[in-house]
Structure 1
């Protein structure tokens, strides 16, 4: 039988393949998924790097998208709710060149729970900024390579 993390990775791969092919092409892998945090890894390979041999900024945006969105999708699914999820705004700070596999970490589980509670109770769209930090643990430990603020928009269907 598959572990919850294996199921989540399978779901992410199928979602990417059938709904958002660029996610599938980036090959994200969920390393951690719990009530408070999610950690996604995207490998630095030929299709994810730029001419400077660092991760292409579009792939960094994909990683931030997956880290911010997957936790919300997972929490809604656990509650048995159908939720419309989108990102309305993005702000990115690129601090260093990520020259190895990049991990995208989001610790906003509590904020996402509050957003879900509000949209389920009111039926209205709820918008809040979630923070995603990109790190390269192999080369730089927990030092941020990039930081993203994504405005997550949730609405109960």
Structure 2
């Protein structure tokens, strides 16, 4: 039997390959997933580098998207209800050059739970910012390389 983390990574790979190929090209891997926190790693390889040999900002955006979006998608699937999920806005601060594999951490599971409750009870679209922090643990421990605030937009389908 496959572990929940293995299933999550298989789903992420299939979703990337068939729905959003750029996600698949970045090769994200979910390292941790629970009700409050997700951690996704993107390796710093040739495809992900810029001319300074650090992670290209577009790949950093992919990592933030996957970390914030995957938690919301998995929570929506657990609810058994159909949910439309999108990002409406993005704010990013690039604090330090990420020159190694980057881990993207979102600890806003509670915020996403509240958003799902709101859209299920009201039938309306709900928008809320979620925070994603990018770190390079192999070089800088938990020091942030970048911080993203993505405005997550959720609505129950058919409501």
TM more than 0.5 = yes
User: What corresponds to 2:153 in structure 1?
Assistant: 153
Rounded Cα–Cα distance in structure 2 between residues aligned with 1:45 and 1:2: 28
Rounded Cα–Cα distance in structure 1 between residues aligned with 2:7 and 2:61: 24
**Are residue 44 (structure 1) and residue 24 (structure 2) matched?**
no
Rounded Cα–Cα distance in structure 1 between residues aligned with 2:117 and 2:4: 23
User: What corresponds to 2:134 in structure 1?
Assistant: 134
User: What corresponds to 2:92 in structure 1?
Assistant: 92
Query: What's the CA shift string for 1:84-136, capped at 9, x where partnerless?
Result: 00000000000000000000000000000000000011111000000000000
Rounded Cα–Cα distance in structure 1 between residues aligned with 2:35 and 2:101: 24
Q: Cα offset for 1:77?
A: 0.5
Rounded Cα–Cα distance in structure 1 between residues aligned with 2:54 and 2:33: 26
Runs of at least 4 residues of structure 1 off by over 6 A?
none
Q: Cα offset for 1:79?
A: 1.0
**Structure 2 unmatched ranges of 5 or more:** none
- Count, aligned residues: 157
Query: What's the CA shift string for 1:38-76, capped at 9, x where partnerless?
Result: 000000000001110000000000000000000000001
TM score, norm. by length of structure 1: 0.99
Rounded Cα–Cα distance in structure 2 between residues aligned with 1:45 and 1:106: 23
User: What corresponds to 1:72 in structure 2?
Assistant: 72
